[in-house]
Structure 1
Amino acid sequence: MKKAFLYTALIISISIILSSCKGGIDGKDKEVTIKFSTFLEEGAEADAYKEIIGMFEESHKNIKINLMATANGYDAALDGALKGGKGPDIMGLQRTKMIDYINKGYIKDISEWIDTAGLKDKYYGVSLGYGKYDGKYYGIGDLPYTVEWYYNKKVFKNAGIDEPKNMDELLDACKKLKRYVRYPIIIGAKDAWSADIAFGAISVQTINTEKLAKAYGSGEKAEFENLNGAEDALDIFYDLVRAGAISSKVEDIDYAQSVNEFVNGRAAIFPMGSWASKKIEDVMPKGFDYGVFESPIEFVSSPESKISATAVHVITVNKKSAHPKETMEFLNFLFSEEAQKVLAKKNGISGFKSVNSSSDDEIKGRILEHLDMTDENSTMYVDDISNEMMEATKSGILKIINKDMEPKEAYDLIINQAFTK
């Protein structure tokens, strides 16, 4: 009886062992599903992700990628999932949201992986900087755009003006342009994000954006009060207003109207993100000839960064992913040259430098040159501030535009308004 019992127990044990090892014996790994969430629900970028996932799954039969793309209520849903310990393995985030999640311990530090994969030499500075915080890398921004100085070529030719390269040349050009257009520089100041992007083209040269990000992450008013370079940027903006380069009428102009003023010849210079090229092309009248300045305007002699840029969407990894090995396998593929060729084809530009072919189109060619000029300090002002600070910055800018405040007063207003409970 004892032997029979032992044999039975042994057979059961062996069955359990064989059952648990079946995948290895058959040469098949257990199928794993990786959850990848993004707020990019539609458009070229979403289509690119779907194609890239299909390519990955074809060569990784044991790994399935569940793409969860939604725009409405995205942040709130993600907050709840992460708080409950059930967040997705991979998350596409805006930069400030990434910083929030880093401070809550949700995001994995992938600095070592970035070094091992040799990605620092392959990606634009802004793509790397967009996922960097407090000296560590937590993600890579995969949709890079620059802030460009669009200009009306016909107006410049009629005024006998060359592209300005520094503050003095810009002020001189705007004095001449006032005789030809209503707005030497047009800003859609009615929209806070649009006003702040124009301001950010200046502030990126005077404010260290890593310190700006740390100030945001701290949530402390004192960090902004002690932030070097902010008042310097407002001083420069003030000088442009005082010279008549920026009219008080822009207070009532939103982003869409600013594009219309530009393409219809009432504005000579239009500082805006490179995504505006499509909007300009869609609404411009036949024969409208425009370009972007070959060199970003140099506002200070030793800029923190030469050019303002963004990467829109940073890919991050959940620190508590249930499948860390498979998650990093997909990340390796997503940021490979093969996958990024798909993104470049669909979106027009990728953060992976070598997949962006040179273009005969002058504007796209210059945008690519400017992306190459970005560094990890190039992230836009609006990428490193709260919504409250964005609205407050607009308020301060409008006070300067309407000549109601000096730069120091305007910065005090910005800080106090942003931190009003």
Structure 2
Amino acid sequence: MKQFRLHKVASVCLIAAMALIGCSSQGGEKAAPGTQPGASEGSGQQVTLSMHSWRVEDTEGYKAIIQAFEAENPNIKIDFKPFKATEYNTILNTALQSDSGPDILQLRPYAPGISLAEAGYLEPLDNIAGISAFPKDVLAAATGKDGKVYGVPLSLNSTQFFYNKKIFEQNGLKEPKSWDELIATAKTLKEKGIVPISFGAKEGWLLSLSHGVIAPASYSGSGYIDKLLKGESNLQSPEFLQSISRMQELIPYFPENYVGLELNDMRTLFATEKAAMFINGSFELEGLKKLNPDLQLDFFPMPTNDQKAVITTWVDGSYAVNAKSKHKPEALKFMEFMATKKFGELFANQFKRISAVPGVSTDDPLVNKMAELSQSSSTPYLMVVHFAEGKPTTKQALENALQGMYLGKLTPEQVAEEIQKSAATWFPPFKK
């Protein structure tokens, strides 16, 4: 797999936006993992590390990965404990604040994860073996202004339209190459009694993610993002407003009662072949195949206004070490393992996702297709990479406003106004 690259300007501006308070190793020392004071490695003493995640669906997959680590490190056991994604942040923050946090924790990408480093909860990982092999723009998802790395990147995510090839073929449909073709495809499916798009508005994060898929078609990739970062445009521009209007334009092609549907409902509707398309991330691939191994699955990138196609990408799910872990040397040992090609290959093949470890490929053609498009036709996930700050974050403001629109309380113009108002409170280019 070619080396993954996010948009260069995006990464630079992201790093510049991070105000990071570095937290050092205990006693100010930077010894290598396994040699720090208090290390129990080599003593024969059994150590169990707690490891928290928001990916409940990954439980089975991590068993094989953890077994591989424990086989090489028999004195270290990993207790993997995932939580519901929508509850994870609150549970983790409460635990960290009470000094009862896990030894190893999964970081939300970019600003939310870095905020934990700012609060002094994370151990710098600059000295672990293998971390320097990651490209800087990948490490940017967990790197502070001081240049310290606080997480080992896990995966390179993308968002796209999944579709059922059998349903498309049975109805004489092809992958749409423009917005008008997408709407025409949805109309044809609806006329034939098939739910065109499996979609739900109950969980806010799914709305910002869906917008992340659809929006780049309106501004044709990354050129518009450059203007935003320079303060030459804003979130009430014609391009951004069109992206919100298109979210509204898709309403007739959603399931009945879509405002009450959550991810499990959407996933099941598509996997059971009751819906033809499903807007979601690359991380859904494994789950869909497990639900229906016979599903004839494919995906298409978003067709843009300039007759091209774009796929939205970001670095997701870095893992970090609790600065107050009582077993820090052992936890750092696991971080070293996560930076190896062995881990990357296990991860990619277990979860059918693009590993962040350089040089890793899989035997899954869809994952490789995602990786190739991430190289040739990608744009950053705008709300995650650039607008995940503020109180509440601008990403959350978008989610709330879109929910309001789907409940018939806000127009697209009012949604764009709310988003711009949120960003203007903290986003430096908008405060000039």
Q: Which residue of 2 aligns with 1:57?
A: 73
Kindly report which structure 2 residues correspond to 1:8-407, keeping only aligned pairs within 5 A, or say none: 31-32=39-40, 36-40=49-53, 43-57=59-73, 65=76, 67-71=78-82, 79=93, 82-83=96-97, 90-95=104-109, 97-110=112-125, 117-120=132-135, 128-132=139-143, 136=147, 137-203=149-215, 228=235, 232-239=239-246, 241-242=248-249, 246-247=253-254, 249=256, 250-263=258-271, 266-284=274-292, 289-293=296-300, 296-299=301-304, 306-309=310-313, 312-318=316-322, 330-349=334-353, 350-359=355-364, 362-370=365-373, 372=375, 377-378=380-381, 381=384, 384=388, 392-401=397-406, 405-407=410-412
CA deviations 1:139-197 (Å, max 9, x no partner) are 23314443231113244335543212343443443344443345433312233233332
> 2:31 maps to which residue?
none
Q: Is the 8 A contact 1:151 1:292 kept in 2?
A: yes
1:275 positional shift: 3.6
Distance in 2 (CA, whole Å) between partners of 1:281 and 1:339 is: 22
**For the Cα contact (< 8 Å) 2:114–2:142, is it kept in 1?**
no
1:200: Cα distance to partner?
Answer: 2.0
- Structure 2 unaligned runs (5+)? 1-36, 42-46, 425-432
> 1: distance between equivalents of 2:332 and 2:271?
46
The CA distance in 1 between the partners of 2:38 and 2:82, in whole Å, is 32
Give the structure with the higher percent helix: 1
Alignment match, 1:22: none
TM-score, scaled relative to structure 1? 0.65
1:88-111 Cα shifts (integer Å, max 9, x gaps) = 665332336522212223335556
> What is the letter of the counterpart of residue 337 of structure 1?
K
**Cα distance, 1:272 vs. partner?**
1.4
Q: Secondary structure at the match of 2:120?
A: coil
Q: Radius of gyration: which is bigger?
A: 1
- The residue identity in structure 2 corresponding to 1:242 is E
Identity fraction in percent: 19
How many residues matched? 367
**C-alpha distance 168-128 of structure 1, shift in aligned 2 (>3 A):** farther
SS of structure 1 residue aligned to 2:285? helix
Alpha-carbon deviations, 1:274-294, whole Å to 9, x = none? 34334444555x97533212x
Change (3 A) 1:302 1:228: farther
Secondary structure of the residue that 1:384 maps to in structure 2? coil
What's the CA shift for 1:51?
2.3
Question: 2:38 and 2:272 mapped to 1: Cα distance?
Answer: 61
Counterpart-to-counterpart distance in 2, 1:418 and 1:169: 33
- Aligned equivalents of 1:405, 1:85: Cα separation in 2: 42
CA–CA distance in structure 2, aligned partners of residues 332 and 374 of structure 1? 31
Cα–Cα, structure 1 residues 157 and 120, in superposed 2: closer, same or farther, change >3 Å?
Answer: same
8 Å contact 1:184–1:245 — kept in the other structure?
no
